[in-house]
């Protein structure tokens, strides 16, 4: 297997010194720079850069720059996704975000896991584990989602939370590490 195939398979791969991986990451960085330098009033140009970065334009997608990702094509966004300013999607392992999700400013979705032993880290090795988010989720500001995490539909992740484990559907999660605070009754009346 080559390093890209290892990355996509969730195996240890050379993330730092492999020329193909480096070239893919430089392409992502270049397109993010281009996107972030585009006038947000020029929606047509913004969508053209988003299409070049992701390979498609998500339906009814809204993005507040600046935005950063590693590659781009490993990101799958549903309909009506909103991503606020200064978000980072480290998408080596793939990031899937469902419909009607709102992501607050300064959130990070990190698929890279690194070896504990420095001799392997110094070789540039890492694993890329996918992150999956269901529909109708809301992430407060400064949320960090760690490698391999699945977040169910209908969840609210409180500002500043660090999500290290899977979160079931309809959960309010908060803290470091994030824990389920309560289940959300989606049919309850609007709270005051």
43-69: pLDDT as tens digits: 999 999 999 999 999 999 999 999 999
The active-site residue, picked from 27, 114, 132, 165, is: 114
Pairing of strands 112-113, 13-14: unpaired
pTM (two decimals): 0.96
Predicted local distance difference test score (pLDDT) of residue 191: 81
**CA-to-CA distance for 181 and 176, rounded, in angstroms?**
12
One DSSP character per residue, 32-69 reads HHHHHTS-TT-HHHHHHHHHHHHSS--TT-EE-S-EEE
* Secondary structure (3-state) at 116: coil
pLDDT tens for each residue of 118-143: 999 999 999 999 999 999 999 999 99
Confidence of residue 169 (pLDDT cuts 50, 70, 90): very high
Superfamily (CATH H level) for 3-183? Hexapeptide repeat proteins (2.160.10.10)
Catalytic site includes residue 100: no
pLDDT tens for each residue of 176-185: 999 999 999 9
CB 49 within 8 A of CB 38: yes
Confidence of residue 96 (pLDDT cuts 50, 70, 90): very high
Domain boundaries, the chain: 3-183
Predicted local distance difference test score (pLDDT) of residue 120: 96
8 backbone φψ class: left, alpha, beta (φ>0; ψ -120 to 50) = alpha
Give the HSE-up count for residue 23: Cα atoms under 13 Å, Cβ half-sphere.
5
Instruction: Say if residue 192's pLDDT is above 90.
Output: no
CB 152 within 8 A of CB 165: no
């Amino acid at each position: 297997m080559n390093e890209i195939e290892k990355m996509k398979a969730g195996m240890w791969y050379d993330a730092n010194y492999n020329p193909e991986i480096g070239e893919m990451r430089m392409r992502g960085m270049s397109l993010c720079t281009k996107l972030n330098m585009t006038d947000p009033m020029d929606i047509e140009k913004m969508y053209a850069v988003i299409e070049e970065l992701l390979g498609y334009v998500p339906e009814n997608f809204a993005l507040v720059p600046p935005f950063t990702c590693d590659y781009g094509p490993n990101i799958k966004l549903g309909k009506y996704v909103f991503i606020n300013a200064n978000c980072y999607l480290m998408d080596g392992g793939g990031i899937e975000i469902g419909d009607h999700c709102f992501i607050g400013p300064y959130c990070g979705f990190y698929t890279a896991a690194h070896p504990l032993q420095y001799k392997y880290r110094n070789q540039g090795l890492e694993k890329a584990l996918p992150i999956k988010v269901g529909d109708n989720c809301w992430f407060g500001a400064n949320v960090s989602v760690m490698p391999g995490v699945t977040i169910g539909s209908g969840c609210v992740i409180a500002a500043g939370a660090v999500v290290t484990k899977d979160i079931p559907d309809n959960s309010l999660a908060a803290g470091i590490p994030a824990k389920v605070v309560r289940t959300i009754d989606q049919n309850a009346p609007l709270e005051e």
